[in-house]
Amino acid sequence: MAYKYCTATNWGKDFFTHQERRDFYLRGHAGEVWVVGDNHHGDDWIGKVSGVSKTQAEAQAIVDGEIEAAQTAYDALSAEEQASKGSRPVKYNLP
């Protein structure tokens, strides 16, 4: 599957609808990064949310930066606080 990448701020209700979730792949990531299925429905959605296009590398860098910040915040917690927060954030690759 081919993807497009953008950043967009989730404004809440109807930012993405049930119908849009059926029409194209959509996955949100840290840093307001969105991975969007590359079809005309996905293009329409990027226009609707005024998405700012990114390359895959640019999108990955944003997500990595957010996760690194979350890791730093997690590491600063006490052991008790870490236990109640769940797992330490882990970096991963965007599709």
Partner 1 sequence: MADYKGIKGFTIPNVSSDPDNPIAGQIWYNSTSATLKGEVEAGVGEGTWAAGGSLSTARNPSGAMSGIQTAALNISGPYSGSVDNVEQYNGTSWTEIADVNAPRENAMSSSSGPATATLFVAGNGPGAVTYCEQFNGTSWTEVNDVNTAKGQGAGVGTEAAALVFGGVDSWYTAKTEDYNGTSWTEVADLNLARANLSSFGIQALAFGVGGRAPGTPAIKPNVESWNGTSWTETTEANTAKSEASGSGVTTAGLFYGGAAPPGNTATTEYWNGSSWTELADLATAGSRISCNMGASSTATIVPLQASPSVTTEEWNASTVNNTITVS
Least distance (Å) between residue 90 CB and partner 1: 4
Task: Select from 50, 68, 92, 95 the one that contacts partner 1 (CB under 8 A).
Answer: 92
3-state secondary structure 52-65: EEECHHHHHHHHHH
- Using the rule CB under 8 A, is 53 a contact of partner 1? no
53, 46 Cβ separation under 8 angstroms: yes
Which helix (H) or strand (E) segment is 7 a member of? strand 3-7
- Using the rule CB under 8 A, is 1 a contact of partner 1? no
The residues of the shown chain that bind partner 1, judged by CB under 8 A, are 10-18, 20-22, 26-30, 66, 70, 80-81, 83-87, 89-90, 92
